[in-house]
Amino acid sequence: MEPLKMRPHHSVCLHFFVGKGYSDAFVENMSDIKHALEKDGGLRVAVTEGGDDFCAACPDGVKAACAKDGKAAEYDEKCLAALGLGFGDTVTWETLCSLAEKKILRCEGARRSICGGCRWDAVCQHAYVENLSKALKTV
């Protein structure tokens, strides 16, 4: 089975996903992926540059803002540096999830220093502040 393609910052987004997104198809795809990872943390994930298996369901495709030199790419680069991983690495979801929690979500200010400019920042920050333990629950 091919590993799931996941750009680095989506390992953070997954912790805050509450069924909101760019379209019904996008939300359904993200929910399906999240449930699969919840069911089997041993699933392999390929750390991907540019569009991934989440972007595949985006109504706009891989938009300029999500392409290599856009804002999302900046989030990816910062995430990679924090996680200590590189593009092309393949790890289990358990490993990636745990790294995201330890290296980003449990470090005050780290998440916002990576993706504070995202349009969903308020949603994620609300989840973080209001219910940290739930937000950090291993998915």
Contact footprint for ligand SF4 (CB under 6 A): 9, 12-13, 16, 75, 115, 118, 120-121, 124
**Letter string b/e over residues 99-111, b meaning 16 or more CB atoms within 10 A of that residue's CB:** bbbebbbeeeeeb
Are the CB atoms for 45 and 4 separated by under 8 Å? yes
Comparison of 26 and 91: residue with beta carbon closer to ligand SF4: 26
Nearest to 8 by CA among 123, 109, 96, 102: 96
CB of 115 to ligand SF4, least distance (A): 3
CB of 130 to ligand SF4, least distance (A): 14
Comparison of 1 and 19: residue with beta carbon closer to ligand SF4: 19
Comparison of 42 and 107: residue with beta carbon closer to ligand SF4: 107
CB of 2 to ligand SF4, least distance (A): 24
Comparison of 87 and 120: residue with beta carbon closer to ligand SF4: 120
CB of 9 to ligand SF4, least distance (A): 5
